[in-house]
Amino acid sequence: MNREAIDLEERFSHFDEVWSPKVIARLNDYEIKLARLDGEFVWHSHQETDELFLVLSGSLTIQLRDGNVSLGPGQLFVVPRGVEHCPITDGGQVRVMLIEPAGVINTGEAGGELTASHDDSLA
Amino acid sequence: MNREAIDLEERFSHFDEVWSPKVIARLNDYEIKLARLDGEFVWHSHQETDELFLVLSGSLTIQLRDGNVSLGPGQLFVVPRGVEHCPITDGGQVRVMLIEPAGVINTGEAGGELTASHDDSLA
C-alpha cells in the first residue's frame, strides 16, 4: 500500500499532452484521472456511466444539446450517463480532475482520432 | 437534470458543522461530499469500500496503524477498504472533498457520538 499523498500539481508536471487523461489513483473500481484540455473535444456520450469533471485551473464549457455548463476552478459538474456532451475550453488550457469507472473510453461511442489509450503510468 | 456547475466554495458557505459530511453531487451510486474537519476523529475502517480524501484547505494527517499520511491543499489519498484510519487536523480547520459509495457511515464500524446522519441537503 502506497502511504504517500498524491499531489495534483506534481502529477501534472509529468505530462503535457492534451485530451489524454492519466490515471493517478483508484477508488474501488473507479479511476481518478487528470487531464489537460485545450480547444474543442468531440460530441459523445457514455451509455453506461456518469462522468465527473472538476476544474482545477482555467475556464471550461461543457456543451450539452440543450444548454451549456460553464466551469471555473473549484467547480464541478457530473454529466449524466447517456447525455451527449462536448467540452470546449474558453481561452487557454484547462486542467481537470475526472472520475469515472475504470475502462471508460474518453470519446465514448464517438471514437475518432481524439480517442486516448488507457494511461495509468501515473497511478 | 441540473445544468448548473457546483461551486465547492459556495457549497461550504451553507454549513459550519465539523465532522458532518454533506452530499453535494452524485456519480452513479457514489456520493461527492464536502466536510469540515477540526481536531481528531475516531479510529475506524470501512470493510466494504475505499474512501477518497481530497484536501481543499488546511493541513490534515490521516493516521494509519503503520504510519501517517500528511495532506495539504490539492493533495489526495485513498484509504483502502478495511484499513483502520483516524484523521486529525494539524492546526486549524480543514476542508475536504470525500468520495465514496452512497450509504457509507462516516465512523465505519466504530460508531459513537461522531457518527453523522446522512445529509444530502446540498445535493
- At A99, give phi and psi (nearest 5°): -135, 125
Q: How far apart are CA B120 and CA B107, in angstroms?
A: 17
Mutate to test the interface with B, among A78, A81, A94, A120 (most CBs of B within 10 A): A78
Find all residues with CB under 8 Å of A101, minimum gap 6, and list them.
A29, A30, A31, A48, A49, B28
B121 lies in some domain: no
A40 lies in some domain: yes
- For the segment A62-79, the average pLDDT, to the nearest whole number, is 97
Residue A3: band (very low, low, confident or very high) from pLDDT cuts 50, 70, 90: confident
Torsion region of A39: left, alpha or beta (phi above 0 gives left; psi -120 to 50 gives alpha): left
User: What is the predicted pLDDT for the residue at A47?
Assistant: 95
User: What is the predicted pLDDT for the residue at B3?
Assistant: 81
pLDDT per position as a tens digit, A22-37: 999 999 999 999 999 9
Q: Residue B64 forms beta bridges with which residues?
A: B67, B85
Total count of domains within chain A: 1
**Residues of chain A contacting B83 with CB distance shorter than 8 Å:** 1
A90 lies in some domain: yes
ipTM above 0.90, yes or no: yes
Beta pairing, strands A60-64 & A67-71: antiparallel
A81–B28 C-beta distance less than 8 A: yes
**Alpha carbon distances (Å) from A95 to A83, B6, B77:** 22, 17, 19
Mutate to test the interface with A, among B6, B32, B57, B99 (most CBs of A within 10 A): B6
CA torsion sign, B27 to B59 to B14 to B20?
positive
Residue range of the domain that includes A24? 8-101
A50–B27 C-beta distance less than 8 A: yes
CB A37 within 8 A of CB A104: no
Interface of chain A against chain B, CB under 8 Å? 1, 3-9, 25-28, 30, 32, 49-52, 56, 64, 66-67, 69-72, 74-78, 80-81, 83, 99-101
Q: What is the mean pLDDT of each run of 10 residues along chain B (123 residues)?
A: 89 97 98 98 96 98 97 98 97 97 94 94 93
Q: How far is CA B116 from the centre of its chain?
A: 11
User: What is the predicted pLDDT for the residue at A2?
Assistant: 67
Domain of A75, CATH number, reads 2.60.120.10
A67 lies in some domain: yes
- For the segment A68-83, the average pLDDT, to the nearest whole number, is 98
A106 lies in some domain: no
DSSP B62-76: EEETTEEEEE-TTEE
A75 lies in some domain: yes
CA distance A115 to chain B (A): 23
Cell of B115: 457518527
- For the segment A34-61, the average pLDDT, to the nearest whole number, is 97
Q: How far apart are the first and last CA of chain B?
A: 12
A123 lies in some domain: no
B120 lies in some domain: no
